[in-house]
């Protein structure tokens, strides 16, 4: 399939630390519950997983924010838990409660049975969506593919869903470390295949979301999370369609480990709002690009307050390339879409001065 040339490659250029005319912007969860058009499409699909598995509707919700806002990237609409679902754990969503597994991991024997899913059959719905989105984007902006990190996937698989104290997964980690490493290893292999399949289908950049890495001690973070993300970085397709495929690693509450994360060979690092962006830049230097890092809750404020925050973050990063503006985590469902628009406009207005 012929893929049209990219008209706006600001996002890819910033990740590669190449010159840009203004700081590129996209938002985590930009396709999602804060948009009325998304809610209508989800209602049409019936439920969340049906929406993910419907190629046309997954494409539609991916494109919705781009019709509304002048963003510099699209991100595939999917869920971070597609891999464990394809491994047979049966993902479903309880209203207001988040993801759950019908068959969570409760024994070492179950871990022994796990295998890397077949991307061509078990996860074909994801790569089909990537191909269609690439076609529909017509080269307007690049498409980001993504996955959850092995540690984050393992957390949901062992806990059976969301958790506050991580007791089951940490029990496995401390009492049965060998089994834990076996689980993380098969997940890392799965993520490599999964992201490479997305790249082959047309994703021009990929991101690994380590939502729960921040609940670990520094030693355990390196052992049980970062080691496996480094394995993924090393296993990814480095080039596609004649250009580099950048990879971004994001550990929520992981600001204390930026140096170690940068040493994995990743292209970019996501930074949440608990770390000052200027400090982050000083620490990792020119090794990696940085993505972030406005507190999503600032979008509840007035457009003037949002603009002030954008100016503060731009000034904190300072002059030059290597910054992809984003929220420090996903946009909240209750945010007024007009406020998201004010956020994006503020970046367009104030960032060119940093790229003279």
User: Stretch 31-42: mean pLDDT, rounded?
Assistant: 96
Q: Are strands 98-101 and 91-94 parallel, antiparallel or unpaired?
A: antiparallel
All residues at 6 or more sequence positions from 29 whose CB lies less than 8 Å from its CB, including other chains? 330, 331
Kindly state the percentage of the chain with pLDDT values over 90: 96
Question: What SS3 state is found at 268?
Answer: strand
According to DSSP, the residues that pair with 269 across neighbouring strands are 249, 290
Active site residue 124: no
Q: How far apart are CA 120 and CA 127, in angstroms?
A: 8
Q: Is 79 annotated as a binding residue?
A: yes
Average pLDDT, the chain: 97
Q: What is the pLDDT of residues 138-169, one digit of tens each?
A: 999 999 999 999 999 999 999 999 999 999 99
Q: Is 29 annotated as a binding residue?
A: yes
Instruction: Find the catalytic residue in 11, 38, 69, 156.
Output: 156
Q: How far apart are CA 233 and CA 230, in angstroms?
A: 5
Active site residue 125: no
Q: Give residue 1's pLDDT band: very low, low, confident or very high (50, 70, 90).
A: low
Q: What is the pLDDT of residues 282-336, one digit of tens each?
A: 999 889 999 999 999 999 999 999 999 999 999 999 999 999 999 999 999 999 9
Q: Is the dihedral of CA 97, 99, 105, 110 positive or negative?
A: positive
Q: How far apart are CA 123 and CA 137, in angstroms?
A: 22
Q: How far apart are CA 277 and CA 169, in angstroms?
A: 31
- The tokens for 319 are 């002059």
Q: Give residue 96's pLDDT band: very low, low, confident or very high (50, 70, 90).
A: confident
- Residue at token pair 């509840």: 300
Helix or strand holding residue 316 (H, E): helix 303-317
- The tokens for 252 are 């929520």
- The tokens for 281 are 């830049």
Q: Is 156 annotated as a binding residue?
A: yes
Domains in the chain: ranges and CATH: 10-355 (3.20.20.210)
Instruction: Find the catalytic residue in 29, 53, 134, 281.
Output: 29
User: Furthest-apart CA pair in the chain: how many Å?
Assistant: 59
All residues at 6 or more sequence positions from 94 whose CB lies less than 8 Å from its CB, including other chains? 100
Q: How far apart are CA 215 and CA 204, in angstroms?
A: 30
Asked if the model's pLDDT at residue 247 lies above 90, the reply is yes
Asked if the model's pLDDT at residue 126 lies above 60, the reply is yes
Q: Is 31 annotated as a binding residue?
A: yes
What's the pLDDT score for residue 285?
Answer: 86
Instruction: Find the catalytic residue in 79, 185, 193, 295.
Output: 79
What's the pLDDT score for residue 15?
Answer: 98
Active site residue 272: no
Asked if the model's pLDDT at residue 241 lies above 80, the reply is yes
Q: Is the dihedral of CA 120, 124, 126, 128 positive or negative?
A: positive
Q: Which of 237, 231, 276 is nearest to 258 (CA)?
A: 276
Q: Is 33 annotated as a binding residue?
A: yes
- The tokens for 64 are 């919705």
What's the pLDDT score for residue 29?
Answer: 97
Active site residue 68: no
Active site residue 281: no
What's the pLDDT score for residue 98?
Answer: 86
């Amino acid at each position: 399939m012929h893929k049209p040339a990219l008209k706006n490659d600001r996002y890819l250029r910033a990740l590669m630390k190449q010159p840009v005319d203004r700081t590129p912007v996209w938002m985590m969860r930009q396709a999602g519950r804060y948009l009325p058009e998304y809610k209508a499409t989800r209602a049409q699909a019936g439920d969340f997983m049906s929406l993910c598995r419907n190629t046309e509707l997954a494409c539609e919700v991916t494109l919705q924010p781009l019709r509304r806002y002048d963003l510099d990237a699209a991100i595939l609409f999917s869920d971070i838990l597609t891999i464990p679902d394809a491994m047979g754990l049966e993902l479903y969503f309880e209203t207001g409660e988040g993801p759950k597994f019908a068959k969570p991991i409760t024994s070492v024997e179950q871990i022994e049975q796990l295998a890397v899913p077949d991307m061509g059959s078990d996860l074909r719905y994801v790569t089909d969506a990537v191909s269609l989105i690439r076609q529909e984007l017509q080269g307007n902006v690049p498409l980001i593919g993504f996955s959850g990190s092995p540690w984050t996937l393992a957390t949901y698989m062992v806990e059976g869903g969301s958790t506050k104290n991580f007791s089951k997964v940490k029990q496995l980690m401390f009492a049965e470390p060998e089994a834990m490493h076996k689980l993380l290893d098969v997940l890392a292999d799965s993520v490599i295949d999964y992201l490479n399949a997305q790249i082959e289908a047309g994703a021009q950049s990929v991101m690994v979301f380590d939502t729960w890495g921040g609940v670990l001690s520094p030693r355990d973070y390196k052992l049980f999370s970062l080691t496996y993300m480094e394995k993924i970085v090393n296993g990814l397709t480095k080039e596609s369609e004649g250009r580099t495929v950048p990879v971004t690693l994001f550990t929520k509450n992981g600001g204390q480990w930026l140096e170690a994360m940068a040493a994995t060979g990743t292209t970019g690092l996501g930074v949440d709002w608990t770390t000052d962006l200027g400090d982050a830049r000083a620490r990792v230097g020119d090794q990696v690009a940085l993505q972030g890092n406005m507190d999503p809750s600032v979008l509840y404020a007035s457009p003037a307050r949002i603009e002030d925050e954008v100016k503060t973050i731009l000034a904190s990063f300072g002059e030059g390339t290597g910054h992809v503006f984003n929220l420090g985590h996903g946009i909240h469902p209750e945010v007024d879409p007009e406020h998201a628009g004010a956020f994006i406009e503020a970046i367009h207005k104030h960032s060119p001065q940093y790229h003279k």
